[in-house]
Amino acid sequence: MTIFEEVKKLVDVPSSARHYGLEVNRSNMVCCPFHSERTPSCKLYDRNFHCFGCGGHGDVISLMQKLFGLTPIEAVSI
């Protein structure tokens, strides 16, 4: 198993989003970190996310990368 697969197995998207300060509402929606908006249109699933506003899509690692401008290997070490 690669480190990426391991992280994806251990960390779910909603809890890491909360951990990094995103406001996750009851239906697991957040304000999209990739475009500016006032009402949440980015849906968090356990293993990935999808934004209905801008079409942004990815897993927990790409979320961390986009939030913090990290490389994949940096994203798994935080």
- In whole angstroms, the minimum distance from the beta carbon of 55 to Zn ion comes to 7
* Nearer to Zn ion among residue 11 and residue 51 (C-beta): 51
Interface positions, 13-72, toward Zn ion (CB under 5 A): 32, 34-35, 51, 53-54, 56
Residue count, binding to Zn ion (CB under 5 A): 7
Pair 72, 64: CB distance under 8 Å: no
The four Cα atoms 69, 24, 35, 49 give a dihedral, to 10 degrees, of 70
Q: How far is the CB of 40 from Zn ion (least distance, A)?
A: 10
Residue identified by tokens 């480190």 is 3
Least CB distance to Zn ion at residue 9 (A): 26
Using DSSP bridges, classify how beta strands 42-44 and 49-51 pair: parallel, antiparallel or unpaired: antiparallel
63, two tokens = 């979320």
Which positions touch Zn ion (CB under 5 A)?
A: 32, 34-35, 51, 53-54, 56
